[in-house]
Structure 1
Amino acid sequence: MSERAVPRRESPWGLPESDTRQPKPHRCNDRAEDVIQACFEGNPFKTVPGPFKLFWQCMRSKPGYDNQSFCTEEPTEPFTYLQLDPPKREVKLE
């Protein structure tokens, strides 16, 4: 998952002064973008199933982080069409 900033929209009522929360992209956004890109690469019946399988695994994995690393169930296979590094699993040995 990339840590790209999500633009914040200004509401007609403005922002509360104490509200410092920032929106975060969903952990599977990059997998969804890979599926969308696959739709436009040749025959979709051949290009979409692989990226969609990884997207579905990502969506079904348990959300959350273990010690500031990615969830242990999130797929770590490389993206098919996006030029991004895949998520890494970090194991903390105690």
Structure 2
Amino acid sequence: MSSEGRAVPRRESPWGITGDNHPEPKAHRCNDRLEDIIHACFEGNPFKTVPGPFKLFWKCMRSKPGEEPTDPFFYLDLEPLRTEVNPNKPQ
């Protein structure tokens, strides 16, 4: 599941929802990894459940866009992002 395609909920403010001049917000590419950490906090002993998801989140944050870790999530039932290999692009 791509975080780019997911809609970000917007709240209405006293000034209204911004429209034409402002782009729609997009979820951060590591948002799902952070959510996995939050789920880990509530699954048993956090000292044992949080380190694994946190390492993947940190790896995701330190990576360049498109090079995020493809390891499976610990607590979320989502497919990790897969990078598509372009055969025409040199590696």
Check whether TM > 0.5: yes
- The answer (yes or no) to whether the contact 2:70–2:80 under 8 Å persists in 1 is yes
- Same amino acid, percent of matched pairs: 69
Q: Tell me how large the CA RMSD over aligned residues is.
A: 1.7
Contact (CA 8 Å) 1:34, 1:81: kept in 2 or not? yes
Q: Greater relative contact order (Cα 8 A, min sep 6): structure 1 or 2?
A: 2
- For residues 60 and 9 of structure 2, the distance between their equivalents in structure 1, rounded to whole angstroms, comes to 23
Contact 1:8 1:22 in 2 (8 A): no
Structure 1: give runs of 5+ residues left out of the alignment: 64-70
Counterpart among 24, 30, 35 of residue 28 in structure 1: 30
Q: Distance in 2 between matches of 1:78 and 1:28?
A: 13
- Provide, for residues 22-49 of structure 1, a one-character-per-residue CA deviation record: whole Å limited to 9, x for no partner: 1101111100010010111111111111
Indicate the residue corresponding to 1:7 in structure 2.
9
User: In structure 2, what is the Cα distance between the partners aligned to 1:82 and 1:21?
Assistant: 29
For the 8 Å contact 2:30–2:57, the answer to whether it is kept is yes
Q: Give aligned pairs, total.
A: 86
Contact kept, 8 Å, 2:30 with 2:61, in 1: the verdict is yes
What is the TM-score normalised by the length of structure 1?
Answer: 0.80
Q: Which runs of 5+ in 2 are unaligned?
A: none
Residues 8 and 27 in structure 2, CA contact (< 8 A), matched pair in contact too: yes
Q: Distance in 1 between matches of 2:19 and 2:39?
A: 39
Conservation of the 8 A alpha-carbon contact between 2:11 and 2:17: no
Distance 1:36 1:16 in 2: 30
Tell me the distance in 2 between the aligned counterparts of 1:61 and 1:17: 32
